[in-house]
């Protein structure tokens, strides 16, 4: 039975035996009825606007305490124990919830974690950007402060069928005295948390929500970019977290630990020191400064490291710690807007590649820098990239992502299949599932290509190498670094030219953080060895968010007149 505190119209939550997390009987709107109109985004009546969602996986629950208990039992993360052991205050709890949510977005594999640990030494605890909700209407942000209050009341008190009004009670028994003391303590704790939560509501509205509306002047507007399409129309990037997502250590750790990626850049610079000696280098999107430091160690006279993320502060510290601050100058800002103290640079290095090569549209900024500053005989590193595609006979992929909805615990959920089949998937594919020749979809010669050519429409032809069934197409990219920056002549089958540095994201190569991109077919294609799939692959920036990619595959089998068309979106 609930214990009611009459003065605040607040109900102590009840809980089931053995559960550390208790349900609340009050709603967010009850915190301050006068604030209701000003907090529309987080408004609730008798229930949460959005079902409480696990911090790690996609599972949702009826009550927040069930979600917290699931986190403890399934993912090994006891929110209340972490809060107490690390002595977390209200705002650090908010940051912790939003930090975990962001990490799951960046690393979907966390959904499978069985033990998630935090030590208190992480960088995010003072990051005020994490006070902004990652999930709209995140019920756990409303509920976490109730956990400790509920947990402080002994089970034997909660199990009794008793209702208490503090304004009238005159304790006569030891039980009533004990209960009254507990309720007074809980009421004081609640008042404190209520005040903190109201302050938090005001802070989020003022600091974040208003900034989204007034993005022309806000810090967050730095992540809104205009990208020119072939028609000259400017598109606004609605993924307002692009630059902010690169401000945290984890994403850089992931990229630096990608040995194939990082060592390709290192090897190109260290094995071609005669090319870099006494040269001026521009590093676009410098991140931690690793490429700039490679360039300096390779003999560059001057390096300009540019990034529009808060990571530049750590880049400066890294560069100074390694005694390279006399060579490397760090510049904060968008490359489209900054100025350099030199008229031109000899070499531009940048790790701009995204999923399926062009996701995130960072190449637009690199080409802008090339047009503004690269000397006539300057070098782009990398100099040449290529997008490739093949057919897969991976039936498990189709079953896991699409056919799953045909039988969900005995129920059909066909309405869920549309969005799944139209989303390009980023994951590792099994090399043995590649059952066709490989087609080149696009060659990008970085010295020559212009922005409008990044949207492309390419005919392709692939041939089945065995009798099988095609369930999906898969795409990846290859990258070359050349000493003079010029494209190198490559045959369809060629991968590497002697003397050049080569990086592949192929399923047949070393794993990289780019993985591969998969386009699942709605209708599988039975194929005989030697049969051919001919078609047209179209790829362009997203119409609403130019950092995303929209793709269309038109194809037919052999000489069949039946044309299949399927569209996909590659989004974050």
Residues tagged active-site: 351, 360
What is the rounded distance in angstroms from the CA atom of residue 54 to the CA atom of residue 272?
Answer: 50
What is the rounded distance in angstroms from the CA atom of residue 381 to the CA atom of residue 269?
Answer: 9
What is the rounded distance in angstroms from the CA atom of residue 297 to the CA atom of residue 281?
Answer: 12
What's the maximum distance between 2 C-alpha atoms anywhere in the chain?
94
Using CB atoms within 10 Å of the CB of residue 493, give its burial: 0 to 12 exposed, 13 to 18 middle, 19+ buried: exposed
Q: Compute how many other C-beta atoms are within 10 angstroms of the C-beta atom of residue 494.
A: 10
Q: What is the 3-state secondary structure (H, E, C) of 384-445?
A: EEEEEEEEECCHHHHHHHCHHHHCECCECCHHHHHHHHCECEEECCCHHHECECCEEEEEEE
Positive/negative CA dihedral, 307, 351, 375, 369: negative
Positive/negative CA dihedral, 505, 506, 507, 510: negative
Which residue's structure tokens are 């869920």?
A: 416
What is the rounded distance in angstroms from the CA atom of residue 200 to the CA atom of residue 178?
Answer: 33
Q: Which residues of 170-207 are buried (b: 16+ CB within 10 A; e: fewer)?
A: eeeeeeeeebeebbeebbeebeebbebbeeebeebeee
User: Under 8 Å CB-to-CB from 348, ≥6 apart: which residues?
Assistant: 281, 282, 283, 284, 366, 369, 370, 373, 374, 378, 379, 380, 381
Q: φ, ψ for residue 406 (rounded to 5)? A: -75, -25
Q: Which residues of 123-136 are buried (b: 16+ CB within 10 A; e: fewer)?
A: ebbebebbbbbbee
What is the rounded distance in angstroms from the CA atom of residue 385 to the CA atom of residue 353?
Answer: 9
Q: How far is CA 222 from CA 237, 361, 461, 463, in A?
A: 11, 15, 42, 46
Retrieve residue 397's tokens.
Answer: 């992929």
Q: Report the interhelical angle of 259-270 vs 290-297 (nearest 10°).
A: 30
Retrieve residue 143's tokens.
Answer: 């509920």
Q: Report the interhelical angle of 311-321 vs 290-297 (nearest 10°).
A: 30
């Amino acid at each position: 039975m609930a214990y009611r505190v009459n003065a605040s119209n607040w109900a102590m939550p009840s809980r089931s035996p053995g559960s550390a997390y208790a349900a609340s009987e009050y709603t967010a709107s009850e915190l301050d009825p006068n604030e209701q109109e000003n907090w529309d985004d987080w408004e609730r009546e008798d229930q949460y606007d959005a079902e409480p969602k696990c911090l790690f996986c996609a599972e949702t629950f009826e009550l927040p305490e069930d979600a917290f208990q699931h986190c403890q039992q399934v993912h090994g993360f006891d929110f209340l124990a972490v809060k107490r052991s690390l002595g977390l205050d209200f705002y650090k709890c908010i940051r912790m919830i939003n930090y975990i949510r962001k990490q799951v977005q960046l690393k979907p594999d966390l959904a499978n974690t069985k033990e998630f640990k935090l030590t208190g030494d992480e960088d995010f605890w003072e990051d005020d950007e994490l006070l902004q909700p990652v999930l709209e209407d995140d019920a756990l942000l409303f509920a976490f402060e109730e956990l400790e209050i509920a947990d402080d009341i002994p089970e034997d008190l909660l199990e009794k069928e008793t209702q208490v009004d503090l304004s009238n009670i005159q304790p006569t028994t030891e039980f009533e005295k004990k209960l009254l003391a507990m309720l007074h303590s809980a009421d004081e704790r609640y008042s404190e948390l209520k005040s903190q939560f109201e302050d938090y509501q005001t802070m989020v509205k003022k600091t974040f929500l208003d900034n989204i509306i007034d993005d022309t002047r806000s810090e967050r507007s730095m992540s809104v970019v205009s990208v020119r399409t072939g028609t000259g129309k400017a598109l606004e990037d609605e993924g307002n977290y692009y630059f902010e997502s690169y401000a945290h250590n984890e994403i850089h750790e992931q990229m630096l630990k990608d040995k194939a990626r990082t060592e390709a850049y290192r090897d190109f610079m260290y094995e071609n020191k005669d090319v870099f000696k006494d040269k001026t280098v521009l590093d676009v999107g410098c991140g931690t400064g690793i490429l700039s430091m490679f360039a300096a160690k390779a003999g560059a006279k001057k390096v300009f490291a540019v990034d529009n993320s808060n990571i530049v502060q750590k880049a400066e510290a890294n560069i100074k710690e390694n005694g390279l601050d006399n060579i490397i100058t760090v510049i904060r800002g968008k490359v489209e807007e900054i100025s350099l103290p030199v008229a031109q640079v000899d070499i531009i290095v940048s790790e701009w590649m995204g999923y399926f090569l062009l996701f995130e549209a960072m190449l637009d900024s690199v080409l802008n820098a090339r047009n503004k500053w690269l000397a006539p005989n300057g070098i782009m590193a990398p100099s040449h990239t290529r997008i490739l595609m093949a057919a897969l006979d991976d039936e498990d992929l189709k079953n896991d992502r699409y056919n799953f909805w045909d039988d969900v615990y005995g129920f059909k959920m066909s309405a869920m299949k549309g969005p799944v089949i139209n989303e390009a998937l980023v994951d590792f594919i099994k090399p043995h599932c590649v059952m066709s020749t490989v087609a080149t979809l696009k060659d990008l010669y970085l010295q020559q290509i212009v922005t409008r050519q990044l949207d492309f429409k390419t005919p392709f032809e692939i041939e089945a190498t065995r009798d099988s069934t095609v369930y999906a197409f898969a795409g990846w990219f290859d990258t070359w670094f050349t000493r003079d920056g010029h494209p190198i002549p490559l045959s369809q089958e060629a991968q590497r030219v002697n003397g050049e540095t080569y990086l592949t994201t192929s399923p047949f190569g070393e794993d990289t953080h780019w993985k591969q991109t998969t386009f699942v077919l709605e209708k599988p294609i039975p194929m005989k060895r030697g049969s051919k799939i001919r078609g047209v692959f179209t790829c362009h920036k997203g119409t609403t968010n130019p950092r995303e990619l929209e793709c269309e595959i038109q194809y037919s089998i052999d000489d069949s007149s039946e044309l299949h068309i399927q569209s996909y979106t590659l989004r974050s």
